[in-house]
Amino acid sequence: MEFGRTEEQRLIAETVREFAEAEIRPHVRAWDEQQSFPDELLRKMGALGFMGVMVPEQYGGAGFGARELATVIEELARVDPSVALAVAAHNGLCVGHLLIAANEDQKRRLLPKLATAEWIGAWGLTEPLAGSDAAGTQTRAVWDEGRSRWILNGAKTFNTNGARADVAVLMAMTDPDKGSKGISTFFIERGTPGFRVGRKEDKLGMRASDTVELVLEDCAVPAGNLVGERNQGFVDALKVLDRGRISIGALSVGIAQGALEAALDYSCERHQFKKPIASFEAIRNKLARMSAELRAARLMVTQAATLRQLGMPFKKSASMAKLYASEIGMRAAEEAVQIHGGYGYVKDYPVEKLFRDAKLCTIGEGTSEIQRLVISRLLLASI
């Protein structure tokens, strides 16, 4: 069990691990092939509190903190990173944005449904021309004074959970002349006229987690759908991403843990030259490195989550944890494939999927290059 976990965190980890082994493990391959998993799984996780980990109890959530959210995501990712990604996007991005910026009415209206997974949430910042440079948002929201409503037009790409979302929290330009200071946030419910799901991405990995385009065509929403202050959307989105990076770090740690366990099992089971391959020094070196890097990444994620939980500055720690954990997660998955030899390259063993899934973590919620940019900016600003 993990260093520094409280009794309660150990219990949460155990509960999630048991759930993942029983309810997810048997279906991982089928869901990857089907590019989907049942809504029912999300409802079951909602009943256990996994979908509203940081939502205060007064809104129907579990009322835990960043450490517990990281624990839930890590344990899910150890078994199926796609499910972990769906849970991370719901908790960390959609719900996370509402927790930061929504007013009391919006919280009362949306959080109880999201915390129990009666509703599933998506979050859209990225657009075709606005990826790492998210301030380049082209989606427009224009205030219709006569009818007191916002009219939205545009498209958000790469929305995790977008196909099944009951509500999406989306960023749109409200004052184009002001650049990043002219972006605002809106929540849009499924079924709102002019709001539809567009193209579904056919991905390398994380295939069971849906990633879709969300299209807005003269989509009218009342003033009450503006989340946070007008023109504060970009600032709030950056705060959401700082927090979300801890989740992607935890997801990466879960992948590295899953890869190490699979590699350990296989290296003891597989014999060549009349010996288990675990007896060869080259294999032992790989296992040792995977294990040491995994521990370092987990400590970095734990530190970032702890700083956040204590209300201390955590931006640099979150970026460092995401950068390091995602890169060692990828390396661990690759080494696990290598240790499996040809069997690592086929779908009979879990490492082939972990390898495909791991790559997303060096890209989503800020690429590795962007994390280095954030870290170096903060370093230089402190001189």
Ligand X SMILES: Cc1cc2nc3c(=O)[nH]c(=O)nc-3n(C[C@H](O)[C@H](O)[C@H](O)COP(=O)(O)OP(=O)(O)OC[C@H]3O[C@@H](n4cnc5c(N)ncnc54)[C@H](O)[C@@H]3O)c2cc1C
Closest residue to ligand X, judged by C-beta, is 131
Round to whole Å and give the CA distance between 318 and 247.
9
Nearest residue (CB) to ligand X, 232 versus 367: 367
Round to whole Å and give the CA distance between 106 and 221.
14
Question: Residue 168 pairs with which residues in a beta bridge?
Answer: 122, 188
Residue 363 as a binder of ligand X (CB under 6 A): the answer is yes
Round to whole Å and give the CA distance between 303 and 64.
16
Residue 319 as a binder of ligand X (CB under 6 A): the answer is no
Round to whole Å and give the CA distance between 228 and 222.
14
Residue 375's φ and ψ, nearest 5 degrees, are: -65, -45
Give me the least distance between CB of 136 and ligand X, in Å please: 10
Round to whole Å and give the CA distance between 76 and 357.
13
Selected binder of ligand X within 123, 187, 195, 234 (CB under 6 A): 123
Strand (E) or helix (H) holding 212: strand 211-222
Site string for ligand X, 60-89 (x = CB under 6 A): -----------------------------x
Give me the least distance between CB of 89 and ligand X, in Å please: 5
Give me the least distance between CB of 299 and ligand X, in Å please: 25
Kindly give the interhelix angle for 233-269 and 281-309, rounded to the nearest 10 degrees: 150
Round to whole Å and give the CA distance between 22 and 9.
20
Residue 98 as a binder of ligand X (CB under 6 A): the answer is no
Binding residues among 150-179 for ligand X as defined by CB under 6 A: 158-160
Residues annotated as catalytic are 365
Is 80 exposed, middle or buried, given 0-12, 13-18 or 19+ CB atoms closer than 10 A?
A: buried
Q: How many residues bind ligand X (CB under 6 A)?
A: 23
Selected binder of ligand X within 351, 360, 361, 374 (CB under 6 A): 360
Give me the least distance between CB of 203 and ligand X, in Å please: 6
Residues of this chain that interact with ligand X (CB under 6 A) are: 89, 93, 123-126, 131-132, 158-160, 203, 206, 211, 360, 363-367, 369-370, 373
